[in-house]
Structure 1
Amino acid sequence: MVHGPALPSDFWGTVAEHVTEKVEPVLMQGQRARTPVIAYLRDLEALARRECDSRQVIQIIASGRRILGDHVEVGAKDGPFSRT
């Protein structure tokens, strides 16, 4: 889970760069290297679904997970942004 102090107020505006920084280094590596990044992105997506009102942010995070091979659905099936 994403721990620590609250995210800076401008974090969601830089999420595309943040996700890219997490995904690119493990993109050409095996599942063992990808697993912790996928778990982090799942937690980040769950946090975004609770705290961020931007569908685009959630789509960026979900895309990063899918690029790494993760197809697990995060969030409630009938909640906000459930069709992202």
Structure 2
Amino acid sequence: MKAFRIKQNIVGALGIAAMLVFQPAMAAGLDGVQVLDGFRELVGYVGSPFLLGGAWIAVKITLIAMAMGLFSASVLR
């Protein structure tokens, strides 16, 4: 029963997210093709190699900083 409730919450959250995404488009009078073109442009921007490379560098910096912090905290303790 608990798994069903979790799935129900996920479906509800996705529904709310869809309403928040599409409501401004509907209010502006855009048709579906214009909305999908906007999503394609967004996906193309977010999936660019330049931004993905920068995100990977940020992940590496974060992991190195966490390792250094963990090491220094264990030594100083």
Q: Considering the TM-score relative to the shorter chain, is it more than 0.5?
A: no
Higher RCO by CA contacts (8 Å cutoff, separation 6 or greater):
1
Which structure has the larger Rg over C-alpha atoms?
Answer: 2
Normalised by the length of structure 2, the TM-score is 0.29
Normalised by the length of structure 1, the TM-score is 0.27
Q: Greater share of helix residues, 1 or 2? A: 2
